[in-house]
Chain A
């Protein structure tokens, strides 16, 4: 057996866990590991400009590929800087392994230089964490970390490694385990067939059904099954913000996103549904509005791999614990063998009703915004132009705010792993580094980050890392000169008292800023140049392009849930409500 130091074993175990890219930032406690990294070519390290950027980029890579994202940071400030990215991944169930250097064991507890109790600080936002105490345990622990991160309901795992464990002078035999068994951890896979049978019976009897599918479809690689089931039953499908792309966005059976900024037709259909098939969702408060007014007449079938998600916020009538793909496969099969479909006449009537809702207030049929004129560019039109120019095929990341909701509403995602955003934590700053991770996963593809002038400045330093690592992402900045989403709430709930949402002419010249980093900067100030500039942007295949689009600073995102209220209680514009 080969003899390796703990530092060397760390990198070797990353390689053996399938890591191609390691996103990170060096520092004292991680230096032995960084030295081991220098002496090999298997794992490529991507030096970011901030540890938050490193975690978001690894997260973007993980979401794009379905693999585990890998991060390496140093102790103390390196570790704490990674926290926002870890929390972001945790809330969206993204598999990450974050290796943090730690001060040597003899110094732990002594408030040593750059000592932070990383295990303690990260505890509430990780799926699990390990501190490695001996070089002998490195390979096995890292293998376990990867297994835990990717299996069951995925999530981030922190591995804290004290510096003495990576000592280059202490070598131990290296062995990567072939199989991982953890007696206290056996994630369920197959669903309970009896429960599935009960669910199928209810589905076949449904008269006003809706399929409500979320991020679990994407994470569980079940988009194909979802589409087959929906077509088999001819049921309408709505996706959560996290589930977009889980069902083809341009398909007739897709009624749009649901929730706080979901479509009128999706929210109204949910409210009137008699059966809701909830798959890979968690009944988030951004979806349900007031939980005890949620879908009063519906029987709820809830499929999720995590038992603790079921009946957490809204009680399920038929809970099914299992991996989404396996459960849906079995459902499809049972329906096929049953030989009969749901009541066609009832469904036809239901579709007629839904189409009528669509005609009345649908995002695409009865726009929720005024048209753009001259230099008044509506942000919605900017996203529509982006959709058109990229033919709906770009990978889109986003930040947090109005621009994020416009991207989710107006870019129709036909594929899973095409849309990336921080849905759970709502982390401004996610978009750019995540786009870098996505670009690394799909070299040559069009990757665009739809952002706002507020969010982009939270991780703008990564424009430099884009240059270094040749990641030609496109930044579509919907510049409304304000923290627009906060402004919208201040308009709606605080009598337009704009507390701390304006920059007082302090915004940088984004075109010059992009150029300073060696990129292309484009400014769009008139609706007539919007499409051309976007085309120009995507014509630069090997360059980062920053498109600064001056959009209407007064626009709001609609529909919007009226809270407290039920799913169908919506503001449709500044003046109309349901």
Chain B
């Protein structure tokens, strides 16, 4: 038997797992909560989860790498998800994405990510910044939103 290194002195991980009864089937939920608490999933935290749920690190790695949501590196200050699916393509999301990549590249500590449908397909282009959804986002609205998030005023109008 391999020697198990006990990483479970991580109180937060212990608490999150316990809230789900240490059940392996709740792995996605546990990872979501861990990521919400810390911003991303560190090696140490994943090792601790594996230990507590009694599953292999390979299994955890398989899960973390399968799903688009999980981060294995610290996130930027804010994440701009632009819908690149068909209904938003039909109203110019590709052009918006190009604009976003060009304007957000330098210094803002923001990331532009592609998502495929945010369920706001009648009011595209749709954009989600952190957990807030925006509709009919043209360049002007996009720039205004980014300005607000960059200056730390999260709630934009």
* Real binding pair: no
* Chain A residues in the interface with B (C-beta under 8 A): none
